[in-house]
Structure 1
């Protein structure tokens, strides 16, 4: 089979021939039909001291399993792969796998499910947003685009997207946002009751400043950053951290409820994820470049 790998920090990515992996206990062997490319994986390639397997969201057809009970050969599944996911075949722990409905494609699955679970999670972490003003950073990303749509579904009075490039404004408004602002703008409009931040780093300070008194900043970025306690005190503001892995491990019932909600919204046409592009395995480097340069409008997907 083909597999994408790299040998040193920063790449380059290349395709190699490798043996098809054999599932261990509790694992499914999946023929990959779609693989979601994420910012954390792109950052690992650029920053990790040692090469790591290129894992992430995969969707495809089960071809084998070992010690599994929920899925059979021929079932379509999606889930998070912690090993080599940029490949023709990948191993997926049964506990991390979810069925792909008949009315959805595997591209739909990787564009909707993991990113949608994060988007729903940060909205739940923020608390009720009905009647409130919500700002979503990285609004054109795989998660951000769904957070914009879901904030509207949850009844937000005003939804604004923040992006790195003003050329993305039309796309963000097409998602249902009332307005779009740029990170470098001096002001981001009216104060917000809630900011959902996927960027972190230097953007944390302006994101916090954009909050109204008693506002909430939900931070779910892998980009780091710090905030000053004084900036929280003067406006009685809150910063809430969110990590999907903790939910998946510690609250599986909530994870499952979010999953059902996402597919219901997809099925009735309320929620449709945007896909920036579909890349062959041989073009994995181009897929990473789209995310690293922040030019993507929606989810970036590999098609083995």
Structure 2
């Protein structure tokens, strides 16, 4: 029983579990599809309590990391992903799913993993905030432009940004007050992990037939995600090392470049383009998890080598 409880508290297990349950019991996903926006809003609200208001001061120091966050998370990542998807993905709905991922805000997991992976936490917070602000204004127009306004209105997408980014950010400021934060701090991890897991379950469940019957599509999706996360992240690190960049900041920039909010992508894809467009977003959750695990294991291996006597 103790082992089971520990597993259910483990973020990696919970997300993998969501994928498995989606494949096995995916028929139930249609019953809760209508609640995805509300689930995401709750998850984002609790996630954003990781962004302390004091970390945003002084305002002058925000500008550079915010611009870096925007550049990495949108210009570079989006260009690579959309370019790869354009050449490798033939299905229009699946391509739209990648457009959604490319214009999705960074995952708030960047902040705790900046600490775990020895990055610059304050720099990451400011970069995440900059990318969030960029999302609210850029995404509605970018998605409409790239997809040719395929049945969507920029204003509707802008309102989705308000509901799932702006309002959660405002509400999270109140949750950081001393009294509510005592409870929030205790349950935040569980709410975020299980909320994202529910969204991944919905994305996988709605498309379970594709996972079983169309392996070629899954391979194409996997290739785009592999190159955009592992390939792009490792190439960026290599280029940064050639220019002898600060390793602490480079780690934060690596995360800002490669980690997207899979839950946000799921909800946006389903809301705008339907369930098939959510297939790449379900894959996104898996590849983000694998990449974070890879970075964690690599750091652990380096630490062990550094402590071994020569």
Choose between structure 1 and 2 for higher RCO, CA contacts under 8 A separated by at least 6 residues: 2
Bigger proportion of residues as strand: 1
Q: Tell me the TM-score normalised to structure 1 length.
A: 0.25
